[in-house]
Chain A
Amino acid sequence: MSLEDRDRSMSDCTRCSNCRWLPSIDTEEFAHVCPSIRYGKVFSYSGGGKAIMGYALLHGKIGYDEGMLDAIYACSACGGCQVVCGTFHDDMVEPLEAIYALRERVVQDGQLPASLKALTDNLRSTGNVAGSTDGNRGAWCASLSRTAPERPDMVLLVGDAALDREQWPQLQRLVATLDASGASFTIAGAAEVDCGGLAFEVGDQALARTLAEKVVALVRESGARSILTQDDALFAALRGYYPRMGVTLPVDKVVHVTQWLARHKPPIAAHQGEAVTYHDTCRLGRLGEPYVPWSGWHDAAFAAIRVRQSNVPVLYGNGGVYDEPRALIAATGAEIREMPRIRETSFCCGLGGGGGTFNPEFATMAARDRLTEALSTGAKTLVTSSAECACHLRAVAQRERLPIAVSNLIDYIAPVEG
C-alpha cells in the first residue's frame, strides 16, 4: 500500500506515545515495546513518529536527510508499535503499515541508505543478501540419502540457513527428525530462492514481488499443499508480507517447524530443571500472524464510528506462534521463566528489518536490553526460535560479557547424538 493510500491513517495519529510502551506494564525497567524509540529518544523514532514523518513527506513539509533516514531504518520493523496502537485505537493508524509505505517511498525516491542498498543490489545480482557467488542453496542437503515422496504434503524451505555452513548440521538433524516423525515432505534445496522478505522490509517492493513470484512458482512445482520452514523471517514473509503484496501462495498452510514438532512429539533432549527463558521473535510471533488483506473503505457507523467496510478483523498478533515453542521447551523438562515482555508484546532483539545492518549500534542496544531482561528472570539460558536472532543475541552477550547462554530452539531440543 502506497504512502498516498496511508494518507488518512497517518494523519489520524494522535501522537499519544502509547506505541512506545507495553499496554500492561509489570516492571519499570522493561516497559518499552519499541527498540527504535528506546535507541533514538526523539519522537520520530517511534511508530507514531514514522507515521507523522510519512505524512509530512507526502505533503511536502519535509525532505530527506540523515536524521530522517536514521529514524526510519534504526527500526527492526518488528510491529510492536502496531499491536499496541491497535490496543488503544483499533486500526485507526496502523504505524507498521505506515513504516512499510514510507520505506517503499524512500526506495522509489532513490534514498535507500547505502548499507541497505548493498543488500538489495546483492539480491538482484546474486540472489542472496550476502552477495555470495557460491549461492547454491542445495549444498546443505546434497549428501542426504532420502527419497522424497512422490506427492509430498509439504515442501521444506530453509531460507538463508542453506547458505550458512554452520547451520547445515542443524538442518540435517531437522530433516532426520522430521523423517523419523513420519512427515511427508520434499526439500526445495537447490531450487529455493530468497523469499523477498528483507527486500519487502527495507522498502524494495518491486524486488520483493519478483522474488515472491519465484517462490510461488517453485512451491507450485513441488505439488505440496503446505510449506514447512524453520526460518522465522521466511515464515513472516509468507504469512504476512505476501498477502500485503497481493501474492497468493498455492498452498493451504504455512507451517513452522515448531508447530509440526509440538504436534508430532519426536524424541527430544532432556534439560531437567534447567532455568531458561524464551524469547518470542517478532517474526514467529506477531509478524507471523496470517495477514488478511483488505481494501476499500472505512464507513462511519452511527454517523461517527469508524468501521471497516468489510468485516476483515483487525489484527493484534494473536495469530502468531507462541505456545508450541514453549511446549517443546517444557517437554525437555526445563523450567521456563517468563520475561515481562512476551508473546504479542515481545521486545525485539533489533536485528530484523534491516535495522541490524543499517545501524549496528541500534541493534546492539536492543539486544543488550533484551538480554538484561532475560537475566532478570534468573534464567541461565535464553532460547529462541530464530537462528539469526540467536546468533545476534549470543554475539552481544559475549561482547558485553553478560552471563547468559543463548540457544537456538532447534538445537536446544535436539537429542544428544550417540
Chain B
Amino acid sequence: MSIETAALKALQAAVGVENVRTDPATLSCYAWNSGMMPGPKFTFFPAAIVLPKSTEEVAAIVRACNANGLKFRPLSTGNGTFYLSHQPNVVVLDLVRMDRILKIDRANQMAVIQPYATAGRLMAEAMKVGLTCHVIGAGPGHSPLASATSMLGIGITGSSTGHNARNILALEWVTVDGEIVRIGTTGEDWFSEEGPGIGFRGMIRGYFGAHGALGIFTCIGYKLYPWAGARKLERTGVFPQDGMPLSENMRFFAPVWPSSEQVRDAVMRLNHSGQMFAVLRMPPANIGFVLTRSNNEYRDRRLNGTLPEIARDESRHGLQVLTIGHSPAQVAHQEKLVRLIVEETGGRMLALEREHAEMLVRGLVTSQYVGRARTNNGATSYGIADSWHLWPKAVESAEQLVKEDLASGDVFTEDAESHWAWPTENRQLWTEHVVAVRKSPRGGAIALVAFLRHVYLMQKQRLGIASFIAGPMIDMFGRTMHAGLWMRRIKRTLDPQAHADASMYISPKESAAMRVFPYVKGLLFSRAFKPVLLGMMSLMGRKAGAMKKADKADLGSAPPRVPESQTGGPAVRSPSA
C-alpha cells in the first residue's frame, strides 16, 4: 500500500523524516501473522510505520492521519502480533522510542512508565527497592502499559498482583481526535488514590481491551506490589534454564490431588487465606518443556519414563504454590497453612529436585518460561474466566472437546486436557486450554474449530466468560453478556468517524453476517456440522497460503495415533533443516 505524498509529508512533519518508514521490507515486519490469527502469513501491509518520541508527537501523528484519511494503530512491543490490521491504509505507531521508566515511587508503590518500558525492565528496577510488578504470561518482554490499558492483563502472580486493568493508577491518553487527556491526578504528580478519575478504566478498556481502537495511551501510573524477595534475582542453573535461589522467606510447594474437584476445593481455601504470592496449575507436559533443554529431550524422557514426577501426566491434578513471608512468623504461618489445606483436601506434596524448583520459581515470579508452551508446531488456546468453583467443569468440557481431536492424530495435549489456570485477586479463575496442533492446514483448522466450538459451548453451558474474545468474536459471542452492544456505543461515541483501526475491537457498524449469526450458530457449532466446519477452515488455511511447500508432506490424512511405546513418539514428519 503506497502512501500519498501529502500524507507522508504530514507524518514526516510530525516526527521527522528518519522516523517514518514506508519501505516494503520494514512494512512486511508489521504485516506478519505469527499464526495467532487465522489466514495468510502476511496481512495488509501498513501505509507507514512511524516512531514518535513524545505524547505531543503521537497527537500530531493522529491529527495527520485524520487529515489525510488514514487510520492508525499503535503497538508497544508487538509481542503477540495482536496489533495486526485487517484493513488497508493503516499507519502503525511503533512506540519503541517511548521506552522510559519515568519514576519509581517507592513510598506510594507505583511507577510512571511509557509504552515500551517492558515488564522485565520494570521488575528489575522495582525489586531494587523492594517492590515488584504484575507480569502477564507473555513474559518479561511485554509492555505493562499496553497490557494494562489495552489488552487483557491476567498474569500468573494474579493472587498477589491482581489484574492489570486494576493496576492503572493514572493515564495519559491521545484521543482519536489527537487531543491529549490526562486522567488521574494531573500536573507534576501522577499519583492518584482512586485510579483514573471516577472510574474511566471500564470504558477505555473493558475486559479484553480496546486494542488502540479508542486512541493511544502514552504514559500510565502503574501500581507496584511489595516484594520481600531478593533485591536482584540471582541466576542458578545452566543457561538457558535459569533458576533463582529461594530466599529464606520463600516456600515453594508442588501438591497433587486425585481429582479436579479436590484441586478446586484447595484453591478456594488458598484464595481465601489471602497469603499466596502465586498459585498456578500448569499442565505437566508444559512443565516438562521447561525442565528439559529441548523438545528432543522431553520426547526421550517422556518415552523412557524419566521425566520428574511433576512433569508426568499422572500429576495433572497439581499446582505450583509460592509463598513469600514478610516475617519469620508469617513464613511459618504460610507453610503450616498450605500443608494443612493440602492435607485436608486429600492432596500430597511432590518432592522436587532443587534445580527444578528454582526454575519453576523463576517462572512463577517472572513468567519467563510461559513462551516455552509454544515451542511446538501450532497451538491454540481457549478458556474461561469466572470463579474457581467452575474448575472441574472447565476440565471436563476441555476433555470432551479434545477427545475427538486427539483421535485425529493432529493434536497433542496431556492425556485428557491441557489447561493452564491460576487465581486472580484471591478469587477469579483464569484458564487457558493450550493445545498443540500439527502445523498443517488440517492442524490449523482443528485448532480454530476447537477454539470457536469451545467458546460457543461454554457460553451455552454458562461456564463463565470466554477468555479471548476480540474483533469479530465480540459480535459473535459478546451479546450473551450484552457487552458488545455497549462497546459499540462507546466506539461510536468516542470515535464516530472510525479514525482508529478497530480490527481487534468492535466496528462502529454491525455487519450483515453478524446479524444472521445468532440464528445459525446452533447449527454451525453442532457436532454434526463439525466436519463441514473443519473442511471450510482447512480450505481457508490452504487458500490463504498459510502453509508452505515444506508442509506439503503433512497434507495427507493424518496418521493414526499410535501408542507411544510402539513408535518412539514420532508420527508425522516435515522437512526442516
Contacts and interface: CB of A to CB of B under 8 A. Distances in A.
B24 to A, nearest CB: 4
Contacts of A118: none
Given A26-B232, A306-B295, A343-B239, A14 B35 contact: yes
Given A28-B124, A307-B569, A16 B26 contact: no
Nearest to B24: A62
A391 interface: no
B78 interface: yes
Interface string B33-50: 011100001100000010
A304 B437 CA distance: 5
A13 interface: yes
A145 interface: no
Contact of B233 (A1, A24, A311): A24
Contact of B118 (A8, A31, A55): A31
Contacts of A17: 77-79, 141
Interface in B74-89: 77-81
B268 interface: no
B564 interface: yes
Interface residues of B, number: 88
Contacts of B412: 302-305
Interface size class of A (residues with CB under 8 A): 35 or more
Interface in B424-465: 436-439, 443
Interface string A9-33: 1011111111011111111100100
Given A61-B42, A304-B411, A87 B240 contact: yes
B124 A18 contact: no
Contacts of A24: 233, 235, 242, 362, 366, 368
Interface centre among A92, A295, A298 (most CB of B within 10 A): A298
Interface centre among A8, A13, A344 (most CB of B within 10 A): A8
B550 interface: yes
B293 interface: yes
Contacts of B410: 303-304
A56 interface: yes
B240 A16 contact: no
Given A18-B139, A53-B25, A304 B438 contact: yes
A297 B576 contact: yes
Interface stretch (B93-101, B204-212, B390-398): B93-101
Given A302-B569, A307-B299, A56 B574 contact: no
Contact of A299 (B49, B551, B573): B573
A14 B29 contact: no
B141 A21 contact: yes
Interface string B267-283: 00000000000000000
B153 interface: no
Given A300-B438, A300-B573, A302-B302, A311 B548 contact: no
Contacts of B138: 16
Contacts of B436: 303-305
A355 B569 CA distance: 44
A120 B116 CA distance: 39
A345 B138 CA distance: 20
Nearest to B41: A11
A67 B295 contact: no
B130 interface: no
B378 interface: yes
A314 B293 contact: yes
A290 B170 CA distance: 51
B32 interface: yes
A235 B32 CA distance: 36
B78 A316 contact: no
B348 interface: no
A335 B280 CA distance: 42
Given A15-B29, A53-B28, 19 more contacts: A5-B577, A7-B549, A16-B34, A18-B371, A21-B118, A21-B140, A28-B122, A31-B120, A89-B374, A296-B576, A301-B569, A303-B436, A304-B376, A304-B410, A304-B436, A305-B299, A307-B570, A313-B293, A318-B238
29 contacts: A8-B550, A14-B36, A14-B81, A15-B78, A18-B139, A18-B371, A23-B368, A31-B120, A42-B96, A53-B25, A53-B28, A61-B24, A86-B240, A88-B369, A89-B371, A90-B295, A295-B577, A298-B575, A299-B572, A300-B570, A304-B443, A305-B412, A306-B377, A308-B296, A309-B570, A314-B293, A316-B240, A318-B238, A344-B240
The 6 closest A-B pairs by CB, nearest first: A68-B25, A299-B570, A301-B569, A67-B23, A87-B240, A28-B121
